[in-house]
Amino acid sequence: GESVGLHLPTLSVQEGDNSIINCAYSNSASDYFIWYKQESGKGPQFIIDIRSNMDKRQGQRVTVLLNKTVKHLSLQIAATQPGDSAVYFCAENMGDTGNQFYFGTGTSLTVIP
């Protein structure tokens, strides 16, 4: 069946290093993707999004890359800070399904001071 999955369930990085979180998706009909950050005890928080007609999108310290050929999505965080420690989810949406998003299992990012 269709699924959104993550390659690594956990990731530890040194403060100041760059982080890369990966996500694989299998639904070729998905045309919109969002990365979320979820801190303990809180709801998911929007980080950055990308449409399927784009390969790359940059925000403040974050970049999302989309490779439709291999159905792969990645989130790059520059100069990782302790406050970046959280679980990160990618979510995919088929344009005709409104707010019905499929979330991956998540990657737990730990920033080591």
Partner 1 sequence: DAGVTQSPTHLIKTRGQHVTLRCSPISGHKSVSWYQQVLGQGPQFIFQYYEKEERGRGNFPDRFSARQFPNYSSELNVNALLLGDSALYLCASSLGAAWLNTEAFFGQGTRLTVV
Q: How far is the CB of 80 from partner 1 (least distance, A)?
A: 22
Task: Examine residue 113 and tell whether it contacts partner 1 (CB under 8 A).
Answer: no
Q: Which is nearer to partner 1, 11 or 91 (CB)?
A: 91
Site for partner 1 in 42-101 (CB under 8 A): 42-46, 51, 89, 91, 93, 95, 97-101
Which candidate, 95, 104, 88, 96, places its Cα nearest to that of 35?
88
Which candidate, 91, 83, 73, places its Cα nearest to that of 109?
83
DSSP string, 50-107: EETT-SEEE-SSEEEEEETTTTEEEEEESS--GGG-EEEEEEEE-GGGTT-EEE---E
Q: Which is nearer to partner 1, 14 or 110 (CB)?
A: 110
Pairing outcome for strands 56-58 and 62-67:
antiparallel
**Of 11-19, 35-43, 60-68, 74-82, which segment contacts partner 1 by CB under 8 A?**
35-43
Interface residues toward partner 1, by CB under 8 A: 4, 32, 34, 41-46, 51, 89, 91, 93, 95, 97-106
